[in-house]
Chain A
Amino acid sequence: MTTATLSLVGVTRRFGALSSGGSVAVDGLTLDVHPGELLALIGASGSGKTTTLRIIAGHEMPDEGRVFLDGRDITALPPRQRGFGMVFQHYALFPHMTVGDNVAFGLEARGVPKAERRERAARALANVGLANAGGRQVQSLSGGEQQRVALARALIIEPKVLLLDEPLSNLDPTLRRTTRDELRAMLHRLGVTALFVTHDQEDAFAVADRVALLERGRLLQVGRAEELYDRPATRSVAEFIGRATLVPARVSGDRAVLTIGGVARDVHVVMPNGETGDGSRYAVLRPDALEMADPASSGGWPGTIVERRFAGALLAYRVALAGDIEVEVHTTERGREIGESVGVRISREPVAVV
């Protein structure tokens, strides 16, 4: 399958006049998707993910900026000439056609003879584990099957880039977890360049090679999932990705002093994007980088457990520290109870500051 580099340069899309309550859906977005890469576009509702995807697909025009494919400007190219595959959020399967006709539609549009269409559609369906489903009606499919048909339909045209709009959001949680593993495996096997939009960071982490986080149409950070988690570029990223408690920190060099309730601790920190400079910042305390200790032991902040939640392999405790600060601690320790006095200390350094 062909691979390509997709680039967005300064893409901006406004809806309505700004003066009369319009809004900027996408704001100066610049982003590259490398050959064979799975890039996830994440963000809250209204962050401009879907509009970005529609601009890439050609269903929407940017007011400013350019879209390039392998260095060629495709901003003005109609969707049908881009040769992208798209999986829509609700799949957009043609309800009046059979599964086979749906999958073969892109070939029909390219004037591929009927016999070949049928054969290739059958193969595409077999590829997504739906061999022999070609004659079925779209309505008879389950949600997961519809998703796979939509994928087969998008892949049959050997797309230069595959676009997926919330492909997992209509699946129930169990199916969702297996589907996303399958999706990742399949896309990697085919080596297809793919961009997928989701509001669910777990989906993004599970499927994508890199993650781009949008907020109000702006790109906050793009990188591998752990980069966004461990070294958030801004406070918004730190708050959006994973769980975190932000604690005031005085930075000097690669160390900082965190003071909670008068108890100061000196930690090794890492600045976003290799920034330098001393001053007041916030330290990002992640639940998995904290541990419990005896209230009296040194190196910890004293607090009280206020909430206890079983989270599979780990237990999640919420601990109220002094000064109205609450942190969450993920640990394998199971014996602690609500109301217990504990100490909380940092177990993994460096700590990110934003």
Chain B
Amino acid sequence: MHTPNKTPRKTLRFPVPVIDPIAGSRGPSAIRSLQSRTLLLAAPVIAILAWTVVYPNISVIVGSLADGARAWKEFFASPADREAVVSTLIVSVGSVIAATLIGVPLAFLLARFEFRGRRTLSAIATLPAALPPLVGVVAFMFLYGESGVVTRIVQHALGLERAPWSLTGLWAIVFVHAYTMYVYVFLFVSAGLERIDTTLDEAAEGLGASRAVRLRRVTLPLLTPSIGGAMLLVFMSALGSFSAPYVFGGGIRVLSTQIVASKLNGNLGLAYVETTVLALAAIVGLVVLRRFERRRSYAMSGKGRQTRVVVTSPLARALLPALAIATVAVLLLPHAMVVLVSFARDGAWTTQVLPPEYTLDNFRRMATDPALWVPIRNSVTMALIATAANVVVCFVAAYLIVLRRFPGRRLLELLVAIPWAIPATAIAIGLASTFNRNDPLTLRVLLVGTFWILPLAYFIRGIPLVATAVEGSLKQMDPSLEDAAHGLGGSWLMAVRRVILPAARPGLIAGALLAAVTAVGEFVASIVLYTHANRPIAVEILAQLRSLAFGTAAAYSVLLIGLVLTITLLARWTEGRMARSGSPVGA
């Protein structure tokens, strides 16, 4: 008989200050003290985010207009830029189509059917996401590049004189994107399928709907928001993608690479225009995605029971495991290839299908040669600094967003989300244009060319990851827990220490680990901002590749994959421990 949500959620919050002057002047001190504490917390967080997230973007826009409209005119007149815009769109749309075609069927297969090999396949299916961006690209080069293993095998098998394909151009970029980005679609659709109460399907079946009708009229409509959201996410990722176009683009220009090229050519005005265009496109994407997400959760009643159909048709029984094994192989090949090449002697692998000589030298040198050790130390140090800052700022931000009502809450929400939408290239150009001199009047500090520019970039990229995770944890908390702590006489600090922090902890740990993983392997912002002294692992991998030291590059990649895997497993482990020790009682 109880009625959940009978009061609108906002009645559970503290009121925003009344603007009515009379009411304001006699505003009761209790809530006012809490309100002023909220504002006291919000002000520095908003200031930090405005300074690091918004200001650089404004600086870029201002920079693009520095010469009047000259840079903009140049942009619209330049055939190269027109080509870049068109290519970016083609790559993005192509990536969406490819990722959807792979992700949706795979999600259905794993969620709805029981067959041999299903468990292995579902364990492996998200692995491509665990490849640091540049490492994935490197692995594809080793596999499908002109002198890649698969390419060579096909060439030999068909007795061709030259490689059957070259991994360059638009299709190469889309190919790489499909591999890494289908995971988004797969995860969204899997989660969507999990949320669908299968009794809905059973109800439709009981009403006489065939399997096709149920798919079309029940399952797909319920999944539309998930699929749509995932497609948009892929579109935005592809829009800002840098590594694949940078390495495989060949003659192809896309906006992200064009920005870096303009900057290297010293045409800063044009680089700012291109950055503005790219960032604006991303912001539009973000706004659309938010709209979408708001509509995403159909109120699913019930427990969302899952049932998997055991495959019975003999043909499918024979084919599905084979297909599963093949898929697993394709998914694992890049990782395996990187590991294999990491043991190859630098310079020995030329025209052979597989590297001819194997050695432990690459790893030995990485541990002993100080010059090779520096990037590892750099990446780990900078990632730790950035993550520590993320933890502090994002905990406060998430607390304010989820549990407090105050003017500026929406602004804070937006500030936290922006770095997620803006491509790393644009973030990097923004930082380069802002923190390039000491000027207290315009709040500028010279960071470009120093160690600190990269931790700052990593911090910015980590903000949405940590904040979203903490928000997720806090949203699961029954908001009356904080009220209960206050009502029992607990001070604000005691409530934070004994109630809020414990509730936020799972998200804080998961978010911090994710941010650390991303920072350790970061490439895109790094390539724009690094100096020789603070060069991170990913930049060093590229340098090694350029000097054809494939073995060393692969060894670094293996190290990165190892770090990522360790941290991911650590995250899973702590999550598991959290789950066992109890999740917050939902409201």
Contact = CB atoms under 8 A, between A and B. Distances in A.
A150 B11 CA distance: 22
A77 B30 contact: yes
A86 B484 contact: yes
Given A88-B478, A90-B585, 7 more contacts: A54-B12, A61-B31, A76-B30, A85-B488, A89-B480, A94-B498, A96-B502
B10 A15 contact: yes
B123 interface: no
Contacts of A106: 488-490
A82 B480 CA distance: 17
Interface in B1-23: 1-3, 6-8, 10-12, 14-15, 18, 23
B470 to A, nearest CB: 16
26 contacts: A15-B8, A50-B6, A61-B27, A61-B31, A63-B18, A63-B23, A76-B30, A78-B486, A84-B487, A86-B487, A89-B2, A89-B480, A90-B480, A90-B585, A95-B584, A105-B485, A109-B490, A137-B582, A138-B582, A139-B582, A153-B484, A154-B488, A166-B2, A169-B1, A169-B2, A199-B1
Given A90-B587, A109-B490, A137-B582, A76 B11 contact: no
Nearest to B8: A15
Q: Bin the interface of chain B by size.
A: 35 or more
B303 to A, nearest CB: 17
A78 B488 contact: no
Interface residues of A, number: 51
A96 B28 contact: no
A54 B11 CA distance: 9
Contact of B490 (A80, A82, A200): A80
A214 to B, nearest CB: 13
A213 to B, nearest CB: 17
Contact of A78 (B23, B33, B585): B33
Contact of B484 (A54, A58, A88, A138): A88
B3 A199 contact: yes
A215 to B, nearest CB: 14
A308 to B, nearest CB: 25
Interface of A: 15, 25, 45-46, 50-51, 54, 57-61, 63, 75-86, 88-97, 105-106, 108-110, 137-139, 153-154, 157, 166, 169-170, 199-200
Interface of B: 1-3, 6-8, 10-12, 14-15, 18, 23, 27-31, 33-34, 478, 480-481, 483-491, 494, 498-499, 502-503, 581-587
A60 B489 contact: no
A108 B490 CA distance: 8
Contacts of B1: 169, 199-200
Contacts of B2: 89, 166, 169-170, 199
Contacts of A77: 30
B7 A50 contact: yes
Nearest to A169: B2
Contacts of B585: 90-93, 95, 138-139
A165 to B, nearest CB: 8
User: What is the predominant secondary structure among interface residues of chain A facing chain B?
Assistant: loop
Contacts of A109: 485, 488-491, 494
Contacts of A139: 582, 585
A274 B409 CA distance: 53
Contacts, number: 140
Given A88-B484, A94-B499, A51 B7 contact: yes
Contacts of B587: 90
A69 to B, nearest CB: 14
A59 B498 contact: no
Given A63-B18, A96-B581, A51 B489 contact: no
6 residue pairs, one from A and one from B, having the closest CB atoms: A169-B2, A76-B28, A106-B488, A78-B30, A92-B480, A109-B489
A138 B581 CA distance: 10
A158 to B, nearest CB: 11
B504 to A, nearest CB: 11
A105 B481 contact: no
Contacts of A153: 484, 488
Contacts of A138: 582, 585
A199 B586 CA distance: 21
A61 B15 contact: yes
Contacts of B481: 92, 94
A105 B28 contact: no
A24 B14 CA distance: 16
A106 B487 CA distance: 8
A262 B491 CA distance: 70
A50 B11 contact: yes
Nearest to B499: A94
Given A46-B6, A96-B581, A109-B490, A79 B15 contact: no
Nearest to B27: A61
A302 B414 CA distance: 70
